[in-house]
Amino acid sequence: MKFEVALPYSMATTTFTYFFFSFTVLFSFFSFLLFLFRMKACCNCHTCRTYLTFSWTSHFNNLCDWYTHLLRNSPTGTIHVHALANTITANPDNVHHILKTRFHNYPKGKPFSAILGDLLGQGIFNVDGHAWMFQRKMASLELGSVAIRSYALDIVTREIQSRLLPILAANDAVLDLQDILRRFSFDNICNFSFGLDPGCLHPSLPVSPLAQAFDQASRLSAERAMMASPLIWKVKRLLNVGSEKKLKEAIRVVNDLAEGLIKQRREMGYSTRKDLLSRFMSSISDNDAYLRDIVVSFLLAGRDTVAAALTGFFWLLSRNGRVQSRIREELDRFMGPDEEIASFHQLREMHYLNAAVYESMRLYPPVQFDSKFAAEDDVLPDGTFIRKGTRVTYHPYAMGRMERIWGPDCLEFRPERWLQDGVFLPECPFKYPVFQAGPRVCLGKELALVEMKSVVAALVRRFDIRVVGSNSEPRFVPGLTATVRGGMPVRVSERRR
């Protein structure tokens, strides 16, 4: 009896499974054909072949290094990768045109929102038009004032004194400084944005499920952008297989935790609080999904970038003893012999330190490249034709390595290039779009600089930090922000003074 009932059911399942898998196989085969077709029929140029066959990997450590090579060799400083329908530029006039003159023709666009949409939703990073303007206004109220910068410095100072310095002082072993810096900046951005403490830099270095899921989600999202056709990931997402399945799971963890954060905040009361989330909550108290999106965008904005910037800085400093000595001289000039932490005022006076921080991000920008999508046909200042719908990418990493922008010593770490008679002179932001430029310039720039300088001052003054194996060039993990593959192993020792 039981058997008879079970039979039709299992037959139906088998039939369904059979059809489902036939469909899957057919669909994958079809998309593979389409992929081949695009590759063969549309373009067989050297660049596309090199990209699609991965043969660039035999000469270059990183995709960004290969692009740099191509951009340096292009007379206009612009290249087009047909297979990706992507125009990439390292030409400051083009960057000015895209980010400012014709800002409205270069929104983030639909393809980009699709790639990051599952993770970032309607957060500021991922939207254009009205939704962007609204969040931009709100967030710039918070981030724009000098008062907020010194408030942020209080948070950073406490985290340096109570967690960062003790952890480094207590360790003779080899440490992964990149990991420590990521924990540090995560704790900071969480306090600043939400008034909450995830405690990532606690001495036991706990595994944070949020941080971990967040890493995975942003890495897998970034990998979508590297595929020759968006059809590939869209099919995988439809079928919930492979990397798309993992992405979905990681995003679920991020969502659950972000929602928890919002609930917790609501219970603690937000009307008198000054943190970013509370501000947003008083105007959009009833839309948790929107709040979640905003929260996630700020996590991405403030955490990975600052950690990446500091990682690049210590990598360069470890190879440049001369720069380290000059920073120490300056610290000694402005800080008392027993002062551990520089004040807001002291940091503002230290021009060499400021120059060194800018200079490190010239060579190792945390956001190595950034893409927009052309809304209408256009022509760039260097004559490059842009067809409607083309992806247009400016490339800060390559720009920092262009002789025609920075001169023949462009590959050297030389903070002096930013100084005139000891005074810091800012460069044109379209030559140095490390924080982007124009109407969508980074909102956290000043905050990030204060945080970085404060960390550098505290660590360089007290410790000698040597990167283990700093003679090799870094290899980056593909992602939205620069992350060194395998971390940055360092040995830390107390300075004898």
**Residue with Cβ nearer ligand HEM (84 or 124):** 124
**Residue with Cβ nearer ligand HEM (193 or 208):** 193
Question: Rounded to an integer, what is the distance from CA 438 to the centroid of its chain?
Answer: 19
CA dihedral 293, 296, 302, 305 (to 10 degrees): -110
CB 460 within 8 A of CB 327: yes
Considering the complex, what minimum distance in angstroms separates the CB of residue 173 from ligand HEM?
28
Q: Is 156 in the site for ligand HEM (CB under 6 A)?
A: no
Considering the complex, what minimum distance in angstroms separates the CB of residue 445 from ligand NAG?
21
Binding-site size, ligand HEM (CB under 6 A): 21
- What is the DSSP pairing of strand 175-176 with strand 391-394? unpaired
d(C-alpha 165, C-alpha 154), whole Å = 15
Pick left, alpha or beta for residue 399 (phi over 0 → left; psi -120 to 50 → alpha; otherwise beta): alpha
d(C-alpha 445, C-alpha 309), whole Å = 12
Q: Is 165 in the site for ligand NAG (CB under 6 A)?
A: no
Among ligand HEM, ligand NAG, none, partner that 402 touches (CB below 5 to 8 angstroms by kind): none
Q: Is 440 in the site for ligand HEM (CB under 6 A)?
A: yes
Among ligand HEM, ligand NAG, none, partner that 158 touches (CB below 5 to 8 angstroms by kind): ligand NAG
Q: Is 434 in the site for ligand HEM (CB under 6 A)?
A: yes
Single residue of 155, 222, 284, 375 touching ligand NAG by CB under 6 A? 155
| Burial (CB count <10 Å: 0-12, 13-18, 19+), residue 208 | buried
Q: What is the DSSP string of 92-148?
A: HHHHHIIIIITGGG---HHHHHHHHHHHHTTSGGG--HHHHHHHHHHHHHHHSSHHH
Q: Is 320 in the site for ligand HEM (CB under 6 A)?
A: no
Over the window 351 to 390, marking each residue x when it contacts ligand HEM by CB under 6 A and - when it does not, the resulting string is ---------------xx--x--------------------
Binding-site size, ligand NAG (CB under 6 A): 7
Considering the complex, what minimum distance in angstroms separates the CB of residue 61 from ligand HEM?
21
Considering the complex, what minimum distance in angstroms separates the CB of residue 449 from ligand HEM?
7
**Identity of the residue numbered 70:** L
Tokens of 223: 């990998």
Residue closest to 347 by CA, chosen among 486, 225, 451, 431: 451
Single residue of 198, 444, 474, 489 touching ligand HEM by CB under 6 A? 444
The helix (run of H) or strand (run of E) holding residue 33 is helix 2-37
What is the sign of the dihedral through the CA atoms of 65, 69, 74 and 75? positive
Which of 70-78, 298-306, 311-319, 462-470 is the region at the interface with ligand HEM (rule: CB under 6 A)? 298-306
d(C-alpha 380, C-alpha 355), whole Å = 31
**Residue with Cβ nearer ligand HEM (215 or 370):** 370
Question: Which residues within the stretch 178-207 sit at the binding site for ligand NAG (CB under 6 A)?
Answer: 191, 195-197
Considering the complex, what minimum distance in angstroms separates the CB of residue 130 from ligand NAG?
33
Which of 86-94, 249-257, 305-313, 465-473 is the region at the interface with ligand HEM (rule: CB under 6 A)? 305-313
Considering the complex, what minimum distance in angstroms separates the CB of residue 207 from ligand HEM?
24
Within 320-444, residue ranges assigned H as helices are: 321-334, 344-349, 351-363, 396-399, 403-406
Q: Is 158 in the site for ligand NAG (CB under 6 A)?
A: yes
Residue closest to 309 by CA, chosen among 407, 437, 442: 442
d(C-alpha 408, C-alpha 422), whole Å = 22
CB 347 within 8 A of CB 293: no
Considering the complex, what minimum distance in angstroms separates the CB of residue 251 from ligand NAG?
26
Helix (H, G, I), strand (E, B) or coil at 490: strand
Helix (H, G, I), strand (E, B) or coil at 333: helix
Single residue of 229, 305, 454, 470 touching ligand HEM by CB under 6 A? 305
d(C-alpha 40, C-alpha 267), whole Å = 58
Q: Is 435 in the site for ligand HEM (CB under 6 A)?
A: yes
**Residue with Cβ nearer ligand HEM (306 or 342):** 306
Q: Is 182 in the site for ligand HEM (CB under 6 A)?
A: no
Among ligand HEM, ligand NAG, none, partner that 120 touches (CB below 5 to 8 angstroms by kind): none
DSSP type of residue 259: H
Tokens of 336: 């008392």
Considering the complex, what minimum distance in angstroms separates the CB of residue 249 from ligand HEM?
25
Single residue of 81, 116, 211, 306 touching ligand HEM by CB under 6 A? 306
- What is the DSSP pairing of strand 391-394 with strand 370-373? antiparallel
442 is in an annotated binding site: yes
Among ligand NAG, ligand HEM, none, partner that 197 touches (CB below 5 to 8 angstroms by kind): ligand NAG
Binding residues for ligand HEM, rule: CB under 6 A, are 124-125, 136, 139, 301-302, 305-306, 309, 366-367, 370, 434-436, 440, 442-444, 447-448
Indicate the annotated binding residues for heme. Answer: 442
Binding residues for ligand NAG, rule: CB under 6 A, are 154-155, 158, 191, 195-197
Indicate the annotated binding residues. Answer: 442
